[in-house]
Each structure stands twice: as C-alpha cells, then as structure tokens.
Chains A and B, each alone.
Chain A
Amino acid sequence: MAVDARDANGQQKILRIWTQTFASPLQSASSKVSGATGGFFQQIWNFRGTAAENEQLKERLAQAERDLHAARLSEAENERLKSLLGLNEKSEVQSIPARVIARDPSVWFNTITINRGSSAGVAVNMPVVTGGGIVGRVITVSPWASQVMLITDEKAGAGAVVGQLGQSGALGSVRGRADLGVGVIEMRYVSGLEQVELGDYVMTTGQDGIYPPGLTVGKVVDVKKGSATQAHQILIQPGAQLDHLEEVAVLLYHPPQRSTPQQTLQNAEKPKDR
C-alpha cells in the first residue's frame, strides 16, 4: 500500500518533494549546529599533532607546487597539440556547490540530502561529485533541496573503465553491494583478458548517460583475476569520502541525446492497411 503519487512528469514522488521542502530548512540548521560543535572539539583535539603536521604539510605543498608546474606545462602542450589537430575545446561542465544537510534517516538506504534544489538549477539525474570522485546522482528535487543516491547504493551504477578512457579496454560498470558497506563498490563485466592491477584508477566512460566521461570513480583495491571466459571480480574504493561528505558539487551536465534506433528493417515490407 505504498503512496505513489508522482508529479506531472512522472519522475518524482510528490510527498517526497513536499516533505523535503519543509524539512530542509530544519535539517540545514541542525547540520550547521552539529558541524560547529563537532568542529570546536575537533580543533581542540587537533592541537596535539600540529607541529608534525605542519612539517608534513610544508613538504606536501612543495611537492604540490612542483606537480602544478608540471601540470601547467602539460596543459599548455595539450592546448598546442589540440589546436594543431583542429579540435574544438569543449566547454567545461558547470557545477553548483552544495552542502550536505542530511543523510537517510532510515539507515536502510544510502542517500544524502543537499541544500540546492530546482531553484538553483538542479534537476533529476544530474551527477554529484567531490574533488575525490563521483558521489552519486540526484533522484529527487524540491525547490531548496535535493536527494542524492550514493554510488554505493545497490541501485546506483555507472559506466566505468580501469585506466584512461581511450587507452584501456577494461570497460565495465560499477555498482554498490549491500554486503560491502559504503567503503567499497564492485566493478563488473570487465573482460578477464584485460590487465587490471591493484591501485589502478577507475574513471567514468559517460556511456551511462548520467556521468560525464573522465571523472574519477576510485581505485582498485581487490582483483580476483578472470579468464578468457570469465570476467574479473574487481572491488573499488570510491575516490570521494562518502562517509564524511560535507560539501559536494552538482554538475549541470546534460548528456548528449541519443538517436532512437530504427526498429524496422529497411527492406522489410510494411503491412498494408486494409
């Protein structure tokens, strides 16, 4: 006897939108209060290792500056090569920063609520990411808040490739598994003939029609090698810290429209209307 009233498009449940609209200001406030309280105690705790951490950070900063310099050189080189090839630089996908204001109250499902909704331009099925990698996709939108299904949910999925898109043939799809928890996701359908190693990065392919290609999914933490007739069994640690999400970005990504495949054979005779 599930309440299943949906909106005019039939994509979202009206009750969920209404509840989200009224609950989001409350959840936003409680999230701020809990964040401030937690942050205060965390700061006190953090004083203990400040000196050692400072040294480490200095080293990492120096390393990051070197990497940044190298990356800039590569980018410039990339630009030059692209212009030589006459390729048009595609515009970057625009994003909306959002704050996580609540998590699924029922503990049975892996969803989060963010403080951006249709008034900010968020729509159903838009991808949500962090700097570390993909987080999930928007499943419900109300004016000021949206619900996001995490990539670790059993019903979530994404087309992915082990390694770089275009260079690797280790294509498959990632999805959550109840028995693995939120720390690990599974990658399936990767041919057993492809080379997959621990620590390899997994990227999106864009074939799912939700995530743009080239986003980080995570890295390989376990591989049970397959064979010519059996796919690899791959476990991936998500790049995004899904247990400690605070800020995310919603990508205003509209996947390219696919043409409907022609259902009739060209040479087949059509039945005559009688």
Chain B
Amino acid sequence: MSQLKIAAVLLISIVLQLSLRAVWKPLAYIDFPLVVVVYIALQRDAWQALVVGTLAGLIVDAQSGGLIGAGGFSKTLTAYIIFFGATKVNLENPLLRIPVLAAATVVDSAIYVFLHRLLGYPPGVTLMQTISYKLIATTVVGTLVLYMLDSVMSGESSQRRQFATRRRVARRSTGPLRRR
C-alpha cells in the first residue's frame, strides 16, 4: 500500500513538472520530484529514496533538452546524502525540513550543472539566477507540499514523530533519576 502511494505521488509530481511550465514559466522553478525524493529520504528508507530519485530524474531528463541521466544521478545522490544525514541526525522536526529542502535543491542543481559542464554540455541559462529562483520556489512550495505529503502518507511518519516525542519526554523525566 505504501509503495502504491509513493508511486502515485511520484507520478503526480512528474506530471506537474512536465505540464506546469506551459501554464506559467516561473512554475517550472519548483522541483516537485525533488520534494518527493526529499520526503522519502527523510523517512530513512534508503532503497525507496534511491529508486524514486533515479526514476524521477530519468523521466524528467528524457523530456528535457539536457543529458539523459544527469538529473537521475543528481537526484539519487541527493537522496542518499539526505538519507545519510537523517540516520545521523533527527530531521523529523518540521522546521528542520526547510533548510534540508533548501540544501537539497542547491546540491541537486549543483550536481546537475557540474555533470553537464563536465561532459561539455553547459546549460543554456544563467547559473546563479536559475539556482536562486529554484531555491526560493522549491523551498517555499516544497515546504507546503511536505505537509500535504505528511497527511497523505498518513500513519508511519506521524507515528515515528510521536515515538520521537515520547522518547524525548521520557528522557527528560528519567534524566534526573539516572543522575542519582
């Protein structure tokens, strides 16, 4: 069931990414597949995050004028970095997701552009301007989308957050006892 939900969410994010630029150009700066990748990576499910990152990147690459595989690679690597971070540090706090999403956008864009430059295929837009726009758009909209994904994907993540809160409360209450 969980896999089906992820597949559906991924499909919707890709459809949005492919269609929204025709409606209004600035909407293309929102990287919907990346938001989904970040969400799944934050759930600490490495395989799902990597597979989703690869698929999302490859499909968007196939529709864009760039190198096929560059986006797949950048999203996969971004997913792994976030997963790795999430296993070391508790990133479940909703406020912490905002800098995580911003960092993911910058890392993803940097890897994407680096790969293109490395293979002699530089993007046809100004680098800093595009990264800045992507950073703002993806972080602002992505934060809202992450909240929506929380409610859609239901139980697991909220359960995990509840357990984390309970653990924290338990630690606080048992802390002085331990000291004694």
- Contacting residue for B28 out of A105, A155, A243, CB 8 A: A105
Assembly CA distance A136 to B126 (angstroms): 20
- Is A15 in contact with B62, judged by CB distance below 8 angstroms? yes
Which residues of the partner chain A approach B23 to less than 8 Å between Cβ atoms?
Answer: 30, 34, 38
Tell me whether chain A's interface is mostly helix, strand or loop, or mixed. Answer: mixed
Question: Is B93's CB within 8 Å of the partner chain A?
Answer: no
Which residues of the partner chain A approach B177 to less than 8 Å between Cβ atoms?
Answer: none
Stretch with Cβ within 8 A of B (4 or more), from A18-26, A62-70, A161-169: A18-26
- Is B18 in contact with A107, judged by CB distance below 8 angstroms? no
- Is B69 in contact with A20, judged by CB distance below 8 angstroms? no
0/1 interface trace, chain B 10-22, chain A, CB 8 Å (1 if under): 0000010111011
B110-165 with Cβ < 8 A to chain A: 112-113, 115-116, 119, 121-127, 130, 133-134
Minimal Cβ-Cβ distance residue in A for B60: A105
Which residues of the partner chain B approach A153 to less than 8 Å between Cβ atoms?
Answer: 65, 124
Please give the distance in Å from A221's CB to the nearest CB on chain B.
Answer: 19
Which residues of the partner chain A approach B19 to less than 8 Å between Cβ atoms?
Answer: 26-27, 30-31, 34, 102
- Contacting residue for B119 out of A2, A19, A31, CB 8 A: A2
Please give the distance in Å from A105's CB to the nearest CB on chain B.
Answer: 5
- Is B25 in contact with A103, judged by CB distance below 8 angstroms? yes
- Is A2 in contact with B22, judged by CB distance below 8 angstroms? no
Assembly CA distance A30 to B113 (angstroms): 29
0/1 interface trace, chain B 64-94, chain A, CB 8 Å (1 if under): 1111111111000000000000000000000
Tell me whether chain B's interface is mostly helix, strand or loop, or mixed. Answer: helix
- Is A110 in contact with B28, judged by CB distance below 8 angstroms? no
Please give the distance in Å from B129's CB to the nearest CB on chain A.
Answer: 9
Assembly CA distance A153 to B112 (angstroms): 18
Question: Is B6's CB within 8 Å of the partner chain A?
Answer: no
Minimal Cβ-Cβ distance residue in B for A180: B126
- Is B66 in contact with A16, judged by CB distance below 8 angstroms? no
Which residues of the partner chain A approach B28 to less than 8 Å between Cβ atoms?
Answer: 103-107
A16-B62, A153-B124, A154-B124 are known contacts. Are A108 and B22 too (CB-CB below 8 A)?
no
Please give the distance in Å from B80's CB to the nearest CB on chain A.
Answer: 14
A34-B23, A108-B124, A109-B124 are known contacts. Are A102 and B64 too (CB-CB below 8 A)?
no
Assembly CA distance A30 to B15 (angstroms): 10
Minimal Cβ-Cβ distance residue in B for A103: B21
- Is B68 in contact with A102, judged by CB distance below 8 angstroms? no
A2-B119, A15-B58, A107-B130 are known contacts. Are A20 and B124 too (CB-CB below 8 A)?
no
A2-B68, A27-B18 are known contacts. Are A110 and B63 too (CB-CB below 8 A)?
no
Which residues of the partner chain A approach B63 to less than 8 Å between Cβ atoms?
Answer: 16, 19-20, 23, 102, 104-105, 113
Which residues of the partner chain A approach B17 to less than 8 Å between Cβ atoms?
Answer: 105
Which residues of the partner chain B approach A147 to less than 8 Å between Cβ atoms?
Answer: 65
Minimal Cβ-Cβ distance residue in B for A38: B23
Assembly CA distance A113 to B62 (angstroms): 12
> Could you name 14 residue pairs across A and B whose Cβ atoms are closer than 8 Å?
A1-B69, A2-B69, A3-B61, A3-B69, A4-B68, A15-B68, A16-B62, A103-B21, A105-B60, A106-B60, A106-B71, A107-B134, A108-B113, A152-B124
Supplied contacts A2-B73, A31-B19, 12 more A-B pairs, CB within 8 Å: A13-B68, A15-B68, A19-B59, A20-B62, A27-B19, A27-B22, A102-B18, A103-B21, A107-B133, A109-B123, A113-B63, A178-B125
Chain B interface (Cβ < 8 Å from any Cβ of A): 15, 17-19, 21-23, 25, 28-29, 58-73, 112-113, 115-116, 119, 121-127, 130, 133-134
